[in-house]
Amino acid sequence: MSMLRSAARVVKPSSAALRSRALAARHFSCSPAVASEARLNSLDTFTEEEQMLRESVRRFAQEVVGPKVREMDENEMMDPSVIKGLFEQGLMGIETSADHGGAESSFTAAIIAIEELARVDPSVSVMCDVHNTLVNTVVRKYGTKEQQDKWLPLLSESKLGSFCLSEPASGSDAFALQTRARKDGNEWVINGTKMWITNSYEADFFLIFANIDPSKGYKGITCFIATKDMGIQIAKKEQKLGIRASSTCSLSFDDLRVPAENVIGGEGKGYKIAIEILNEGRIGIAAQMLGLAQGAFDKAVPYTFQRSQFGQPVGTFQGLAFQQSKAQIELEAARLLVYNAARRKEEGREFVREAAIAKYYASQVAQSVSGAAIEWAGGVGFTRETGIEKFWRDSKIGAIYEGTSNIQLQTIAKFIQKQYS
């Protein structure tokens, strides 16, 4: 008889102990239903198509975007050839059907592209991210057949899109927006100001959120399609700390006339569109931050094995090597969170909590890894020449747009309260 079995016969547990053990077992055991849902693949298992996409985006990012990164950052301007290249590579209609000129690929494929672009330039990454995960998705998900037939091919092939929700007085409290739309015959007339609109300097296509009936509160919010030639004015182009090549502008609408058929998703449904789309969009920002952190790591680490001090490469000192090990752990954890959220969304499972966790964590990792990468490279890391400091400047935005870090914590807290209170 084994020692463990004989010990069990000698020490007979009391009935109170058995009850508390049974209770604990119920609390901590995995029910058969949960266990049977377990994944068979690791989270970083990708299809052949996804792997090919990763390789081709990586090549495009290194060969086409890479040589322009510094110049675009210094000039605070996206190079038109980069925008053209993104369209030519099929990266501006990743999930759009082939019938509509898109690549008809998966949500995870879009996430892979955003991550790979951010490894080289987070500005280019966010341009592709907003266009795909926000703009295209709204048209694909909420557009009528006529709207999809009209706009999706243009959005896949040449027209850059922007998503206009935030305003000077409504950021985190997005539904307090003040932009108004009133019906005039067969048109809507939009008046108001939008702020912080990504891509808007180069965009031709705008999704504008405006309230058509403030007496209904947020249930008056409606989403409209507008194009630049309808009379959208750029009021101000922001000068920013990071992602400087990505345009961020204030827009003013002064009796902007939009055809009645340009309401998307139905009157009063704008709040629903915004909530649902930003939940998905957060996974895109998480992927941008993941790529950014990896890009900073990849730039700084090789240098630490080339640079010698005290007769040995600085990367071999334990003090530095262990920091790099910890950064790699953070990167790995962020990657698992990002792809977990992406796959859940793709599989039609609940993903809102997972998206908030991924965005919160990946934006923290982006800041910590890119900050550490500067220090690993010493003085040269602090110069603009290496491009490492740019990753750190670019990382700050991850905790702000598409829901600040506090807003992500609030979302996660709501799930905890729902489950435990």
Query: So which residues are the catalytic ones?
Result: 402
Residue with tokens 């100001």: 193
Nearer to ligand FAD, 136 or 386 (CB): 136
Mapped onto helix, strand or coil, the DSSP state of residue 136 is helix
Q: Which is nearer to ligand FAD, 89 or 408 (CB)?
A: 408
Radius of gyration of the chain, Cα coordinates, nearest whole angstrom = 25
Of 159, 401, 408, 411, the residue at the interface with ligand FAD (CB under 6 A) is: 401
The structure tokens listed for 300 are 């700084």
Q: Does 165 bind ligand FAD (CB under 6 A)?
A: yes
Contacting residues for 29 by C-beta, under 8 A, at least 6 apart: none
Residue 238 CB, nearest approach to ligand FAD (Å): 7
In the complex, least distance from residue 166 CB atom to ligand FAD, rounded to whole angstroms: 3
Q: Which of 248, 288, 294, 363 forms a contact with ligand FAD (CB under 6 A)? A: 248
Planar angle of CA 219, 221, 222, nearest 5 degrees: 125
Length of the chain as a residue count: 421
- Please give, one letter per residue, the 3-state secondary structure of 29-91: CCCHHHHHCCCCCCCCCCCHHHHHHHHHHHHHHHHHHHHHHHHHHHHCCCCHHHHHHHHHCCC
* Among the residue ranges 71-79, 220-228, 357-365, 403-411, the one whose residues contact ligand FAD (CB under 6 A): 403-411
231 — alpha (psi -120 to 50), left (phi > 0) or beta? Answer: left
Does residue 196 interact with ligand FAD by CB under 6 A?
A: yes
288 binds ligand FAD (CB under 6 A): no
Contact between 376 and ligand FAD per CB under 6 A: no
**Contact between 172 and ligand FAD per CB under 6 A:** yes
CA distances from 31 to 22, 25, 34, 36, 353 (A): 14, 10, 5, 9, 21
Confirm or reject binding of residue 153 to ligand FAD (CB under 6 A).
no
Of all residues in the shown chain, the one whose CB is closest to ligand FAD is: 171
Q: Are strands 233-237 and 312-313 parallel, antiparallel or unpaired?
A: unpaired
Contact residue for ligand FAD among 127, 197, 342, 373 (CB under 6 A): 197
Asked if residues 221 and 268 have their Cβ atoms less than 8 Å apart, the reply is yes
Least distance between ligand FAD and beta carbon 227 (Å) = 17
85: contact with ligand FAD by CB under 6 A:
no
- CA gap 178, 218 in Å, rounded: 11
Q: How far is the CB of 261 from ligand FAD (least distance, A)?
A: 23
Nearest to residue 47, comparing CAs of 342, 355, 386? Answer: 342
CB of 242 to ligand FAD, least distance (A): 8
Tokens of 40: 């068979």
234 binds ligand FAD (CB under 6 A): no
Cβ pair 370, 300 in contact under 8 A:
no
Query: Which part of the chain contacts ligand FAD (CB under 6 A), choosing from 37-45, 113-121, 139-147, 193-201?
Result: 193-201
Whether 213 and 221 have beta carbons less than 8 Å apart is answered as: no
- Work out how close the CB of 225 gets to ligand FAD at its nearest, in angstroms, rounded to a whole number: 15
Strands 180-184 and 248-259: unpaired
When asked if residue 253 is in the footprint of ligand FAD (CB under 6 A), the reply is no
Nearer CB in complex with ligand FAD: 381/398: 398
Query: Contact with ligand FAD (CB under 6 A): which of 148, 193, 198, 294?
Result: 198
**96-135 positions binding ligand FAD, by CB under 6 A:** 130
Q: Collect all residues with Cβ–Cβ distance below 8 Å to 183 and sequence separation of at least 6.
A: 189, 212, 260
Given the complex with ligand FAD, which of 196 and 361 has the nearer CB atom? 196
Name which of 135 and 388 has its Cβ closer to ligand FAD: 135
Interface with ligand FAD (CB under 6 A), residue from 56, 178, 252, 404 = 404
CA distance 384 to 290: 21
Taking the CB of residue 407, how many other CB atoms lie within 10 A of it?
Answer: 20
| Choices 18-26, 36-44, 210-218, 395-403; region in contact with ligand FAD by CB under 6 A | 395-403
Contact between 391 and ligand FAD (CB under 6 A)?
no
164 φ/ψ angles, rounded to the nearest 5 degrees:
-110, 90
Q: Please report how close the Cβ of residue 184 comes to ligand FAD at its closest, in angstroms.
A: 25
Whole-number Å distance between alpha carbons of 201 and 359 = 26
In angstroms, give the least distance from the CB of 356 to ligand FAD: 13
Contact residues for ligand FAD, defined by CB under 6 A? 130, 162-166, 171-172, 196-198, 240, 248, 397, 400-402, 404, 406-407, 410
